[in-house]
Structure 1
Amino acid sequence: MILIDKPFASDFLLKTIKENNFPIVATAVAKSMIADDSLNWISEKEAIKTIEKQDNYPLYTNSENSISWIEQHLKTSKLPGQIQLFKNKILFRKMVKDHYPNYFFKGIKFEDLKSFDASKLKYPFIIKPAVGFFSLAVHKVDNHGEWKTIIENIDQEIETFKGMYPKEVVDVTDFIIEEFIEGEEYAFDCYFNKNGEPVVLNIMHHIFSSAKDVSDRVYITSKEIIEKHKPKIEAFLQIVGKKAQLTNFPMHVEVRINENGKVQPIEINPLRFGGWCTTGDISYFAYGINSYEHFLYEKTPNWNEILKSRRDKKYNLIVLDNNSGIKESNIKAFNYNLLLKDFEKPLNLRKVDFKKYAVFGFLFTETSINNEDETSEILASNLKKYITIKE
């Protein structure tokens, strides 16, 4: 079953729903987003009855905005509890604490941040909302001298993105302070099948422009990345699955892997793959894997066969967040045609209402394995070359 909510459902996801006749819940929001009466729409009442009758019934959501619907209508199922276990970063840290006993984290109320004495904390550390999304209000604090300024910046950022997402997606009531995890960052989509076994659908290297960068600008996947990290990621997922007793459960996961190969969790996003249908779709663009079908049909990718023809390519997901320093209200237009000319092989471009979401769009590309320039340039770019300012 599919539960659709704002802000976005891709053409690829909708095509998948239509071709497979997957049941899609006829919420008012979903019907307002999708003008196709030929889909297998089922009433909210029927959806609730189906899931309550079978507690591990497979449900996929495209957006965390749907969490409020689940919490409101599926109270007797185990889903609300599982969602909170992962969505709330403090609860998640407590769940895996025995596997990472030396890892420091601390929950703190937003209203207490300004008066909190951070001088005794071990630097560097990360501060972010306990319930968050899309790197909103996430900061790395390298020393005590930065603390006051960063708290002031968080105040301003909260005002900027207030109202963009419901509180189930971004809630700034509580923050988490946690030690900075050393190593390279990776993101991946997966699901747990009816037997509780994890199935990996992609793995992406999340690269940064500097040690201070916490943005979501560039993710890269390739044959080498999959082969190198899949075994250790599967072992990590076995721990998570047993702790949370997961079956028929999709998720998007962010981790760091250090030089010794240890996988350290950053966060887990329940019941969905990457937001805005990004990572769920890149599996198809890169590897021909339809992640939605794989989850709902309990299919496992044949990675040995898939990767034979991906030896000399890498695939990139580029998040065109507005880091220009120019307010959206002062921007007249974004030059997408100029953007596309800067890439070897664009695969898919998704334009976004930047005035509403502070993101210009998402770009999927294919690149030769030895071409580092285009990802390095967009990673460091402030995007001003593509922006036209109002006169």
Structure 2
Amino acid sequence: MIVLDYPYVSRFLTDSVLELGQAVLDTPQARRLAGDAPLHYIDEIEFSARLALGGKVYTNSENGLGHVLRCRCNEDLARQIDICKDKALFRESVAALHPDYRFRRVPFEDLAGLDAPDVDYPFIIKPTRGFFSLGVHVVNTPADWPAAVRAIEAERAALNAEYPEAVVSGGEFIIEQSIDGEEYAIDVYFDAEGNPVITNILHHTFLSADDVSDRLYYTSARIIETWLLPFTDYLRDVARECGFRDFVSHIEVRVTETGDIIPIEANPLRLAGWCVADITALAWGFNPYECYFKELRPDWDAILTENQGMATAMVIGDLPSSLDRTRIRDVDYEGFQSLFANILELRKIDYHQYPVFAFAFVSLPETELPALKQTVSQDFTRFVVTE
């Protein structure tokens, strides 16, 4: 079964739903986002009955999690979702794998009265329920703490303006030590025995030490060859500690210089958000949604043989929080697209509703990735026309 919800549903996803014959929970959001696609809609009663019988479910967006949790007809599924959505609970669940990793929960109302936290600097503070880097801050020194608290206080009112409280909440925060290393985002489903099946690995590239944005992700044969086995082994341990089974997730990790794999977060019942999971089909030629619903395992040996030396990237045309989006009159999409030599797909986003104007999917030789990183470090507001 599928739950479709905002912020975005791609044509590839709706085509996949049709080809897989998956039922879709009938909601106003689903019908609006799917347009005229002839999907098989079911009501909440049937959806709940199927869920109670252990039917597989996928949500393109965490906005749709409320529909799954509301019926409470599959307590084990609800438990797995809760572990993922509560970042502090996730840390607690995998603590046995990382006994030296330090973190703590802090209610929002306690932040202002909290002295500089007793955590190694630099550290990260973020909502325990969060998404899309909203409300995330890097604190480098004790002197930076008061400014971080003021910024959080100023942002808190806006946290739920674009996403429901089940997705992003400013009520509680987690303070956790910063992890030095390379960041990767893993699309994976766990079978009935908790064995992980990875459908893609994306390298999350940051523009600076203080950058917490989601502007650039890419995958390549080298990345899969290097990390498929280590990440599979690690996620098997995560599944054991968290009790993940018959479950799909988008899990972010960092790898330290010594090779330790440290989790950042796990996102429940979906692969990469905003339908970025579609990049798997663009890069590797197979459908990740089909893999999950049919429990297929990618033949990575054959796939990688055909894709040596190439990379596929996703670039977000994001907008700074300081920009008044109500004043945007137009976006120069042609100019933005001209930044990339071989663009596979450009998705235009409602920039009045979200702090993003586009997602670009790009194919390029892996040797050109350094140049791409320089390109995406530009100020994208030059493509924005304001009043």
Range class of TM-score, shorter chain: over 0.9
Identify the residue that residue 144 of structure 1 maps to in structure 2: 142
Show CA shifts across 1:76-112 (max 9, x none): 4322221111110111111111111111001001111
Is 1:381 aligned to 2:378, yes or no? yes
Q: d(CA) in 2 for partners of 1:252 and 1:192?
A: 11
Q: d(CA) in 1 for partners of 2:370 and 2:325?
A: 28
Is 1:96 aligned to 2:94, yes or no? yes
Identify the residue that residue 153 of structure 1 maps to in structure 2: 151
Identify the residue that residue 314 of structure 1 maps to in structure 2: 311
Kept in 2: contact 1:324–1:383 (CA 8 A): no
Q: d(CA) in 2 for partners of 1:255 and 1:199?
A: 16
* SS of residue in 2 equivalent to 1:356: coil
Identify the residue that residue 196 of structure 2 maps to in structure 1: 198
Is 1:291 aligned to 2:300, yes or no? no
Show CA shifts across 1:305-335 (max 9, x none): 0011211211101112213842212222211
1:126-275 equivalences under 5 Å are: 126-275=124-273
Kept in 2: contact 1:343–1:374 (CA 8 A): no
Aligned-residue offset at 1:373: 5.0
**Matched letter for residue 12 of structure 1:** F
Aligned-residue offset at 1:374: 4.3
Kept in 1: contact 2:249–2:270 (CA 8 A): yes
Kept in 2: contact 1:3–1:60 (CA 8 A): yes
Identify the residue that residue 106 of structure 1 maps to in structure 2: 104
Q: d(CA) in 2 for partners of 1:209 and 1:5?
A: 30
* SS of residue in 2 equivalent to 1:315: strand
**Matched letter for residue 21 of structure 1:** G
* SS of residue in 2 equivalent to 1:17: helix
Q: Relative to structure 1, is the Cα distance of residues 324 and 159 closer, same or farther in structure 2, using a 3 angstrom cutoff?
A: closer
Show CA shifts across 1:7-40 (max 9, x none): 2111000001112221212123212322336322
* SS of residue in 2 equivalent to 1:108: strand
Identify the residue that residue 343 of structure 1 maps to in structure 2: 340
Kept in 1: contact 2:84–2:268 (CA 8 A): yes
Q: Relative to structure 1, is the Cα distance of residues 95 and 349 closer, same or farther in structure 2, using a 3 angstrom cutoff?
A: same
Kept in 2: contact 1:2–1:23 (CA 8 A): yes
Identify the residue that residue 368 of structure 2 maps to in structure 1: 371
Q: d(CA) in 1 for partners of 2:140 and 2:130?
A: 21
Kept in 1: contact 2:14–2:37 (CA 8 A): no
Identify the residue that residue 36 of structure 1 maps to in structure 2: 36
Aligned-residue offset at 1:75: 4.1
* SS of residue in 2 equivalent to 1:174: strand
Show CA shifts across 1:329-381 (max 9, x none): 22222111111111010011111111111111211100112113542234312
Kept in 2: contact 1:127–1:139 (CA 8 A): yes
Aligned-residue offset at 1:244: 2.4
Identify the residue that residue 24 of structure 1 maps to in structure 2: 24
1:29-108 equivalences under 5 Å are: 29-36=29-36, 38-54=38-54, 57-108=55-106
Is 1:354 aligned to 2:354, yes or no? no
Q: d(CA) in 1 for partners of 2:298 and 2:199?
A: 7
Q: Relative to structure 1, is the Cα distance of residues 120 and 294 closer, same or farther in structure 2, using a 3 angstrom cutoff?
A: closer
Q: d(CA) in 2 for partners of 1:36 and 1:259?
A: 50
Q: d(CA) in 2 for partners of 1:76 and 1:369?
A: 44
Q: d(CA) in 2 for partners of 1:324 and 1:95?
A: 33
Q: TM-score, normalised by structure 2?
A: 0.96
Q: d(CA) in 2 for partners of 1:324 and 1:163?
A: 13
Show CA shifts across 1:245-264 (max 9, x none): 22221100100011222110
Q: d(CA) in 1 for partners of 2:94 and 2:124?
A: 18
Kept in 2: contact 1:3–1:62 (CA 8 A): yes
The CA RMSD over aligned residues, in Å, is 1.5
Q: d(CA) in 2 for partners of 1:44 and 1:229?
A: 40
Q: Identity of paired residues, percent? A: 36
Is 1:4 aligned to 2:4, yes or no? yes
Higher deviation after alignment, 96-105 or 65-74: 65-74
Kept in 2: contact 1:201–1:289 (CA 8 A): no
Structure 2: where are the runs of 5+ without partners?
Answer: none
Q: Relative to structure 1, is the Cα distance of residues 373 and 183 closer, same or farther in structure 2, using a 3 angstrom cutoff?
A: closer
Q: d(CA) in 2 for partners of 1:99 and 1:327?
A: 44
Identify the residue that residue 301 of structure 2 maps to in structure 1: 304
Q: d(CA) in 1 for partners of 2:371 and 2:383?
A: 15
Q: TM-score, normalised by structure 1?
A: 0.95
Q: d(CA) in 2 for partners of 1:310 and 1:233?
A: 20
Q: Relative to structure 1, is the Cα distance of residues 385 and 247 closer, same or farther in structure 2, using a 3 angstrom cutoff?
A: same
**Matched letter for residue 219 of structure 1:** Y
